[in-house]
Amino acid sequence: MTEALKLTIDRRDGLAVIYTEGYINNQGGEEIARAAYELIEHGYKVLLLNLTGTKIINSIGISILIEIIEKMLEVEGRLAFCALTPTIEKTFHIMGLAQYASIYPDEGSAVAQIAL
């Protein structure tokens, strides 16, 4: 029915950006988690999820993002989001995610503020 979520990862100095394209449901969330945990294993403690290509997400997918936030807190790292649709951003605020993961309007402002 819907195409699988596509991920692109840009590894930079001290920061990795994960670009998503498509629906973040349970499979999509698991895909992001796999990528995030692999990056953490390779020493990345600052991750930015750029959701420019994601127009819809569901609560199961978001629950998996909460697992990633939990993992980042464990390793004293940081997860941030950028380029969310207004509805996804509103949903993150409804759930309280914004208390634990910063949200930026675009990648430029995110990178300028989150790089350790």
Q: Does 60 bind other proteins (CB under 8 A)?
A: yes
Strands lying side by side in the sheet with 102-104: 6-12, 15-21, 46-53, 78-82, 102-104
By CB under 8 A, the residues from 6 to 25 that bind other proteins are 23, 25
Task: Kindly state whether residue 99 participates in binding other proteins, applying the rule CB under 8 A.
Answer: yes
CB of 72 to other proteins, least distance (A): 11
Count the neighbouring beta carbons within 10 Å of the beta carbon of residue 21: 17
Q: Which is nearer to other proteins, 9 or 100 (CB)?
A: 100
Q: Tell me whether residue 9 or residue 85 sits nearer to other proteins (CB atom).
A: 85
Among 37, 38, 63, 75, binds other proteins (CB under 8 A): 63
